[in-house]
Amino acid sequence: MAAPSSFLLWSYYGHGWSRVMRYCRLPGLRSSWPGGPLGARHLSQEKRATETHFGFETVSEEEKGGKVYQVFESVAKKYDVMNDMMSLGIHRIWKDLLLWKMRPFPGTQLLDVAGGTGDIAFRFLNYVQAQHQGKQKRQLRAQQNLSWEEIAKKYRNEEDSLGGSRVMVCDINKEMLKIGKQKARAQGYKAGLAWVLGDAEELPFDDDKFDVYTIAFGIRNVTHIDRALQEAHRVLKPGGRFLCLEFSQVNNPLISRLYDLYSFQVIPVLGEVIAGDWKSYQYLVESIRQFPSQEEFKEMIEDAGFQKVTYESLTSGIVAIHSGFKL
Amino acid sequence: MVPAAMATLLRRALRPLRPLQGRPGPAAGVPLRAASHGAGLLYPEHIPTSLLQKALLAAGSAGMALYNPYRHDMVAVLGETTGRRTLKVLRDQMRRDPEGSQILQERPRISLSTLDLGKLQSLPEGSLGREYLRFLDVNRVSPDTRAPTRFVDDEELAYVIQRYREVHDMLHTLLGMPTNILGEIVVKWFEAVQTGLPMCILGALFGPIRLSAQSLRVLVSELIPWAVQNGRRAPCVLNLYYERRWEQPLRALREELGITDPPCTSTAWPRP
């Protein structure tokens, strides 16, 4: 299974953003461009510079993208089941907390990157729908006399049940998007939802487009995290918010040992028994260890240009929500 | 808070797998992912596991195999994680036998790439090779569907269990059993008596759980006693160098091993 060497991006968007971009990325080009004359010393430095981690393995940067793609291609079908098994259902609470922190209002434009199976997107849609309905109820109660237009609109069901909110789910992996679309169809989510194939390091969107950018459990799989952060900064509107939910460093030593024990002993076994895939889940737990700590990541976010960057550790630091604003 | 004895016990159970501490020691102590190019791995597909992981794998795979009988990979994993002692006994038995020790030295593999299908096709009717090919065709199976060994921490034992898996189809041919669930259970009983592998014993005992009453009756009254008798009487089937016996008539081979004809033909078998 060779990694694809070019990525085609389409945007399916029901409302008018019908730009189709054909983007071909050559793997050799982007990673090692020191910008100076290449002497012998530069060559060896360059070689070291293009290596990165894949879990505890060392691979070249070009390889990493392909290997990560293969991991998620093979886990896609059992992704949600395995999430529930591995976190004992707690991942749902984490994602709910992310939404509550976001507090979207009707009219918010959300970009959910690495959002493959749609967990964040569906929660967002539920939230804004509930909010919008609440607002409508309050309006009804407040003013018993509605205008004739409003009454007519209600009868025609023309009102947008989401109040103008839209969510765009972007993922680099076709399999994950496929599963997400299947879920959406099964659970009846249609309005306000769009699915785009795209790379977090080079998003297929214009500048200043979104109110909120989220990336849940995705950024540790990106080869160049700084580029993903820069892209996030680019596509957000001024005043927009960056939110990242990711595994982080545990602050309590006892819990840390238990967590390591559980991660390395139990999770690959679960992966083998339930999904028939030991190695993908080994990669998953190793990639968590390779991700920077809360403070380090906060600094990386600040480097990308975000301000008022804060983080909140959940479950003793097993996960953390980082938040920043483009001001 | 944890008593010192328990702590040492726990540490010993986890010893082969401590990637964060990078403790030097046997091959399994090396950080797993650093072994991407074979350093620290005993064979290409090897995944070093700790005692705790093996226990969890054994329990999990047993449960999953019962829950979903189509997960053959789970049966394989169960065999690998529970069979260490038995595999050693089998390996020693093979070493003592002249044909078996040859197999251990030459390490033949049965797969579509190593079999000469054309030659097998041209063999006379009734020979082992021809009957084996017929068995593969009739049941629409291929020798390539066996998953490679991963969790055995000894390279020779890994080969022994791989050989056992590849010989499984041979046993079907020798015993004349089809690949439906009834046939598989009979072969499992034969293998359980022959090899003593815990996975075979568990499979033989728990396999019949999903059978109908009629099939169970046939199984218990006729098929199992026949399989056990033949298993006891025959020498260890892993010691047979099948690749050298393709021309041998099946009937003669059965006589050599003391395997009698199965009690009833497959057409008379009730539907499981």
Convert the pLDDT of each residue in A8-49 to its tens digit.
444 444 344 334 334 334 443 343 444 444 444 555 555 556
Work out the minimum CA distance from A57 to partner chain B, whole angstroms. Answer: 5
| Cα–Cα distance, A4 to A73 (Å, whole number) | 12
Query: Does the model's ipTM exceed the 0.85 cut?
Result: no
Contact criterion met (CB < 8 Å) for B56 and A278: no
Whether residues A265 and B50 touch (CB distance < 8 A) is answered with: yes
For chain A, percent of residues with pLDDT exceeding 70: 83
Residue of A nearest to B71 (CA): A276
Phi, psi of B259 (to 5 degrees): -95, 120
- The rounded distance, in Å, linking the Cα atoms of A212 and A103 is 10
Local structure of A269: helix, strand or coil? helix
Task: Specify the DSSP class assigned to residue A205.
Answer: S
Q: Which pLDDT tens digit goes with each residue over B189-225?
A: 999 998 989 989 988 888 888 788 888 888 888 888 8
Per-residue tokens: B205: 């005992």
Range name among B20-29, B97-106, B114-123, B240-249 with the lowest pLDDT average: B20-29
Mean pLDDT, range A85-90, rounded to an integer: 91
DSSP conformation letters of A48-81 = HHTEEEETTEEEEHHHHHHHHHHHHHHHGGGHHH
**A199 has binding-site annotation:** yes
DSSP codes joined into one string, chain B: ---HHHHHHHHHHHTT--TTTT--SSGGGS-GGGGGGSTT-SSTT-----HHHHHHHHHHHHHHHHH-TT-HHHHHHHHHHH-HHHHHHHHHHHHHSHHHHHHHHH----STTTS-HHHHHHSPTTBHHHHHHHHHHHHT--GGGPPPP-S-SSHHHHHHHHHHHHHHHHHHHHHT--SSHHHHHHHHHHHHHHH--HHHHHHHHHGGGG--HHHHHHIIIIIHHHHHHHHHHSPPGGG--GGG-TTSBHHHHHHHHTPPPPSS-GGGPPP-
Which of A254, A259, A265, A288 to substitute to test the interface with B, most B CBs within 10 Å? A265
Model pLDDT, residue A250: 93
Pick the range with the lowest mean pLDDT from A108-122, B129-143, B201-215, B254-268.
B254-268
CA distance A292 to chain B (A): 16
Q: Is B40 on the interface with A (CB under 8 A)?
A: no
Residue of A nearest to B72 (CA): A276
* Of the partner residues A55, A56, A272, the one whose CB lies closest to the CB of residue B77: A272
Distances (CA, A) of A174 to A24, A245, A263, B183: 16, 22, 27, 42
**Distance between CA atoms of B89 and B82, rounded to whole angstroms?**
13
Chain A residues within 8 A of B47 when measuring between CB atoms: 278-279
Asked if B60 is an interface residue toward chain A (Cβ–Cβ < 8 A), one would say: yes
The answer, for B64 touching chain A at a CB cutoff of 8 Å, is yes
**pLDDT at residue A147 is higher than 80:** no
Q: For chain A, how many helices (H) and strands (E)?
A: 13, 9
Window 124-163 of B: residues touching A by CB (8 A cutoff) are 150
Q: Which of B20, B45, B74 to mutate to test the interface with A (most CBs of A within 10 A)?
A: B20
Topology at the third CATH level for domain A51-142+162-326: Rossmann fold (3.40.50)
Contact (Cβ atoms closer than 8 angstroms) between residue B61 and residue B75: yes
The ranges assigned to domains in chain A are: 51-142+162-326
A155 compared with A65, residue with greater pLDDT: A65
Contact indicator for A209, A196 with CB cutoff of 8 Å: no
Which range, A189-193, A199-203, B104-108, is most confident? A199-203
B12 contacts on A by Cβ (under 8 Å): none
Report how far residue B246's alpha carbon sits from residue B265's, in angstroms, rounded to the nearest whole number. 24
SS3 A40: helix
Find the distance separating the first CA and the last CA of chain B, reported in whole Å. Answer: 55
- Kindly report the average pLDDT of chain A as a whole number: 84
